[in-house]
Amino acid sequence: MCGVFGASNIPNAAQQVYMGLYALQHRGQESAGIITVDDDNVAHAHRSMGLVSDIFSTEILDSMPGSVGIGHTRYSTAGSSIISNAQPCAVDYHVGPLALAHNGNLTNAAELKRDLVSKGSIFQTSSDSEVLVHLIARSEARKPEDQILDALERVEGAYTLVLTIGKTLYGIVDSRGFRPLVLGKLNDGYVLASETCALDIVGATPVRELQPGEWIRIDGNEVQELPPLPPKPHRRCIFELIYFSRPDSKVFGKSVDRFRRSLGRRLAQEHPAPGADCVFSVPDSSNAMALGYSEHSGIKLEHGLIRNHYVGRTFISPGQSSRTEKARIKFNPVREVVDGKSVVVVDDSLVRGTTARSLVKMIRDAGAKEIHFRSSSPPITGPCYYGIDTPTYGELIASTHTVEQIHQHLGVDSLGYLSLEGLRGAVERDGTGYCDACFSGAYPTAVPGAEPDAPSIDIPIPATIR
C-alpha cells in the first residue's frame, strides 16, 4: 500500500509535501520520496528507504525549490524492499520532467513489461509503476495528455496517480476507484492527498474526493476537469475503511471512525458475548470497533492491551523467537484488567492468525478466565491484487482453515467474524460500489495467473553512501 500527495502553486512545495507524507506515513513505512519542479522546469528529487521524518532534513527540503511537487510513501513488500523501487519516479521527458507517484497495483504489469522489454525498454525497478512511465514515453501521441491516455488504456487494475509534467499537476483515479484521492485548497494553491488527514496537517480545506475515472489537471491555481476515463462499475476498496485509512480521515465520503464504530455495533449484534466482564481492542486499529461493540452490547470497555509504540523498523528480537512470542514485543496485557475475567477481544481482521494466537496466549497467561475473540470483518479468503499487501492464499488462515479450525487454533472460548452480509450492510446505501474480493472472492478484474517474474537483477541498498 502507498500514500500519495501533490501540491500546486504552493510556495516551498517540498515542505508541504513533507508534512502531507508525514500524515500518510501509516500507508507505507518502507520508503518515501519527494519530487519538486522549480520555475525553470527542473525537477529535484529525494528518495530513500525509511520513515519520512528520518529521510528528510531541513537542508534537503531547502535544496528542493519549486511551487509544484509530489510525494509518495511506500509500504514494505517482502522481497522487493530496495531503494530503486522508491517513488516518485521521474524521467527526463521531452516537454519537461515527468514525475509520477502511484497508489495501487496493476494486474497486467507482468505481461506489459514483457512486451515493453521485447521492444527494447530497459527497466530499472521491479515496481509496476515503471510500466506506466514506459507506456507514456513510448506513446506515439504528440500531446502529453494523449500519451498518458494511451498508457492508461493499456493498463488494468488499481491506480490512483499524482503526476506532474513540467509544472502541471494531474490527479487520476482509475475507473473502478479502488484507492482514494481528495482535492484540497491551500491558500492560493491546491493539494491532492490519499486521505483528508494529510489535508488537515497542512491546513488545507477539503474541496472534494475524486470520483472513479476522474482526471483533473491543475495549472497553478486553476483546476480543470479532463474527460473522465471510460466508466466501469465502482469498486472502492472496503479494506481502506476497515483497516488501512486513519480514523480521523474521511474516505469514500465516510468518516472512517464512524464506519468502524458501526462495524463494532454490528459485530456485537451478530456475535454477542453474554456474561462477559469486559471488552477491549487490539490497539490502535480496532479501538473504534471495540467502542462500538461495548456501546451496543453494554459490556464495559477496558484497555486490556497496551501497545509499545517504540518498535520502529530496526527492533531485533535476540534469541527470543521461540520462547517469547513476537507479539509480546508490541503488546502487553494489563493483568489487573483481565485476571479472573471473561473478556471480549475485538480485532479489525484476522490475516495469518499468528499475532491473534500470541495475544490469546498472553491474555490467558495474565489470568483471563474466558476469551471471546471477535473479528470486525469477515474471514479473509483470498489475496488482494489491487494494492493491499495481504499474503498469498497459502498464508491466509481463513483460506486454508474453517472457522471452527481457527477457533481451535487460536485457543479461544468463542470466535466470531462479522458476516459478509453485515459488512455489505454497513455500506449498502452509499451510492457507490465496493470491492470486497478478499472476503468474497468476487475479483472485479482478471487476476494474474502466476507470480510475477522474479527480477533477474538484485540491487541491494548500498550499506553506506557518502
Contact call for residue 93 and a second copy (CB under 8 A): yes
Strands 278-281 and 342-347: parallel
Would you give the binding string for a second copy spanning residues 138-177, x where CB under 8 A is met?
Answer: xx--------------------------------------
- Residue choice 27, 47, 266, 374 for contact with a second copy (CB under 8 A): 47
The distance between the two most distant Cα atoms of the chain, rounded to a whole number of Å, is 73
Q: How far is the CB of 441 from a second copy (least distance, A)?
A: 32
- Residue choice 108, 332, 414, 432 for contact with a second copy (CB under 8 A): 332
Smaller CB separation from a second copy, 278 or 415: 278
Contact call for residue 301 and a second copy (CB under 8 A): yes
Contact call for residue 322 and a second copy (CB under 8 A): no
State the Cα–Cα distance between residues 449 and 134, nearest whole angstrom: 23
Backbone angles phi, psi at 448, to 5 degrees: -55, 135
Q: How far is the CB of 340 from a second copy (least distance, A)?
A: 13
Q: Helices 403-410 and 354-365, interaxial angle, to 10°?
A: 40
Smaller CB separation from a second copy, 56 or 385: 56
Q: Which grid coordinates belong to 400?
A: 486454508
**4: DSSP letter:** E
Smaller CB separation from a second copy, 43 or 241: 43
Smaller CB separation from a second copy, 83 or 207: 83
Q: Which grid coordinates belong to 314?
A: 530496526
2 in catalytic set? yes
Q: Which grid coordinates belong to 80?
A: 522487493
- Check 2, 197, 384, 438 and give the catalytic one: 2
Q: Which grid coordinates belong to 331?
A: 503488546
Q: How far is the CB of 317 from a second copy (least distance, A)?
A: 8
Residues between 239 and 278 that touch a second copy (CB under 8 A): 246-248, 250, 255, 257-258
- Residue choice 8, 9, 15, 164 for contact with a second copy (CB under 8 A): 15
Give the 3-state secondary structure of residue 154: helix
Stretch that binds a second copy, among 23-31, 168-176, 177-185, 436-444 (CB under 8 A): 23-31
Cβ-based burial of 432 (10 A; exposed 0-12, middle 13-18, buried ≥19): middle
Contact call for residue 197 and a second copy (CB under 8 A): yes
Residues between 392 and 451 that touch a second copy (CB under 8 A): none
State the Cα–Cα distance between residues 83 and 425, nearest whole angstrom: 42
Backbone angles phi, psi at 316, to 5 degrees: -110, 155
Contact call for residue 321 and a second copy (CB under 8 A): no
User: Which long-range CB contacts under 8 A does 397-406 form with residues at least 24 apart?
Assistant: 397/350, 397/351, 397/352, 397/353, 398/350, 401/353, 403/379, 406/350, 406/353, 406/379
- Residue choice 6, 66, 333, 387 for contact with a second copy (CB under 8 A): 333
- Residue choice 188, 311, 393, 441 for contact with a second copy (CB under 8 A): 311
* Residue among 421, 398, 394 at smallest CA distance from 409: 398
State the Cα–Cα distance between residues 238 and 286, nearest whole angstrom: 15
- Residue choice 296, 303, 361, 407 for contact with a second copy (CB under 8 A): 303
The dihedral of CA 138, 141, 145, 151: what is its sign?
A: negative
Residues recognised as catalytic: 2
